[in-house]
Amino acid sequence: METVVVLFTRDLRVHDHPALAAACADADRVMPLFVFDDAVFGRRIASPNRTAFLLDCVADLTSTMRDLGGALCKRRGDVVDEVADVVATTGAAAVYLSSDITGYARQRLDRLTDALDVDVLTHPGVTVVPTDELRSSSGGHYERFTPYWRR
């Protein structure tokens, strides 16, 4: 595979990032991308402290990429539009990102998959244990936190 885009979402690290490691193993060129998503920054959850923390994390990711000889592409806008533009500009064959369990993350993944004509591949990374690996004794999902925590 020639070029792959790695979309950083809320897992802003490099040294143990499964999607980034897979992209580096699979592709000749990797385009790391972070999108300042208007859907996230325009909501109440974008408090000043949370925004400052995110900006610090993105600055650290930018610095780490630079130290490794790369560059983090940063965009602002609708995440799907921005990823599609980077894919078209770079001629990327795929988009790699960390799987996530939030409702917004699942919607984002669905939108990316529907909008892009390239593979969108998820890798574990946001949770310590992938969510589909822990099941209750009945084989379903946990309904209470304590049994999940004990497991």
DSSP 128-142: SS-GGG---TTSS--
| Spatial contact of 105 and 66, defined as CB atoms under 8 Å apart | no
pLDDT at 8 over 70: yes
At 33-74, the pLDDT tens digits run 999 988 777 766 667 888 888 899 999 999 999 999 999 999
pLDDT at 81 over 80: yes
What is the band of 147 on the pLDDT scale with cuts at 50, 70, 90?
Answer: confident
The residue type found at 38 is D
CATH code given to domain 3-150: 3.40.50.620
Model confidence, pTM: 0.84
Mean pLDDT lowest among 26-35, 52-61, 84-93, 120-129? 120-129
**CA atoms of 103 and 96, how far apart (whole Å):** 19
Average pLDDT over residues 93-109: 90
